[in-house]
Chain A
Amino acid sequence: MPYLFTSESVSEGHPDKVADQISDALIDNFLAFDPNSKVACETLVTTGQVVLAGEVKSKAYLDVQEIARGIIRKIGYTKSDYMFEANSCGYSLPSMSNQQISIRE
């Protein structure tokens, strides 16, 4: 008796995949500057916002905001009518802008 089997996929612009790509871009940057980095990093993306949370043990010093923006730009969210785009600072919190991580061993 023949049967049906189904699989699905999502594109790089799907919100869950945007989050995956930002998380893995951070992993790559930590490993590039300190191969012994220990990182667990979760990302949340929603209208005009990116939230990062996680644990890091690394000698690397990263501009996480610029890395996240770079990924969003590469994916193609570059127009303001997308309501989520790489360069807009419409919702930026001054105290959070250019936030960088510096957690050392």
Chain B
Amino acid sequence: MWVLSAIHEQSADINQGVDRKKKEEQGAGDQGMMFGYATNETENYMPLALDLAHTLLIELAALRRENKVIKYLRPDAKSQVTLEYDDNNKPVRIDAIVISTQHDDFDSEAKMLAKIEKDIKTILIPRVIKKYPAYKHFFSGNIKFHVNPTGKFVIGGPHGDTGLTGRKIIVDTYGGKGAHGGGAFSGKDPSKVDRSAAYATRHIAKNLVAAGVADEVLVQVSYAIGVAAPMGIYVNTNGTANVELTDGEISKIVAGIFDMRPYFIETRLKLRNPIYSETAAYGHMGRKNEVVTKEFTAPDGKIIKKKVELFTWEKLDYVSKIKKHLKLNKLPGAKSATRLKIHRSFSELF
């Protein structure tokens, strides 16, 4: 394998728009709009279908690495989950699961496919069910399974298909729920608002849902290149708000709580740290916030250790602040089934 590298210095013309003498006024690295989304469908405030699709592959990779119960797995795999929703927009059952996994050439094609399908259903699926105690009943119904539907999948990975950075932006975010501004995350340092503002809007959306403001929240923010202040910030509750406030009113309050200038996002979410390898597979959102120590090796062999906090945008550290600003202390919280309407006019809040 060879590595061809054509990495060069950044354009000074573009750079001058982003670097500012006063760091607080650091301009956005580019124009664009970014979205953040959260729903109370799962404990980590992620859409259930995507969460299941990720978990299937996380467990499949764990089985591959354990190399005990299933011994023929290779690294390349895809999953897809179809959920049925009722009229109240609540998921009620799993309709279909598609799994394609690369594997060793260990038998005749028919025998390999039969073995893989059996192992997926009897080994992988039970491991996934264990991770979803609240949705256990979703797996008991008549699920349509499609395991390696194209047949043999021995040739895979970068030999089968060429891979490029930034081609899986929906897998990286909300699985088609909410919205996407189009900008990819991987390979960008946090001065790029494509990345930092997408994390910041997820942070806002998750804290709003956790505070009980709405069952589902989509936040949009937009920038102009070289300009620090965002062009606009918009909160869409998609008719699920539990407060007597319009989306416009909630947006204004949110803009007052969260400073969305690039420097303040970087600082608030501690983004100028080596925290990105962990985001690059199985989703950038809905992941576990934790402090870890990472090691990096310099070309001269010197090893440095960095203690960093991962997935800071998943922290529920603004829930009380949001409740205070929205005067929502009597709200039942996101997980309660009763939808309490708080009668409070917008003007009362200021």
Contacts and interface: CB of A to CB of B under 8 A. Distances in A.
Contacts of A18: 157-158, 163
A8 B78 CA distance: 7
A55 to B, nearest CB: 4
Contact of A96 (B4, B11, B83, B281): B4
B162 A10 contact: no
A20 B188 CA distance: 10
Interface stretch (B244-252, B253-261, B291-299, B326-334): B291-299
Contacts of B102: 13
Interface string A33-57: 1011111111111111111111111
B171 interface: yes
Contact of B274 (A2, A28, A41): A28
B99 to A, nearest CB: 10
Interface string B232-273: 000000000000000000000000000000000000000011
Nearest to A35: B272
Contacts of A100: 299
Given A18-B157, A28-B274, A64-B7, A91 B2 contact: yes
A86 B211 CA distance: 46
Dominant secondary structure at the B interface: mixed
B276 A4 contact: no
B53 interface: yes
Contact of A103 (B8, B52, B86, B164): B8
B165 A13 contact: no
Please classify how large the interface on chain A is, using the bins under 10, 10 to 19, 20 to 34, 35 or more: 35 or more
Interface string B172-209: 10011100000000111101100000000000000000
Contacts of A72: 1
B131 to A, nearest CB: 14
Given A9-B54, A40-B192, A96 B280 contact: no
Given A7-B49, A12-B61, A89 B2 contact: yes
B5 interface: yes
B7 A13 contact: no
B282 A6 contact: no
A68 B163 contact: no
B76 A13 contact: yes
Interface of A: 1-33, 35-57, 61-66, 68-69, 71-72, 75-77, 82-93, 96-97, 99-101, 103
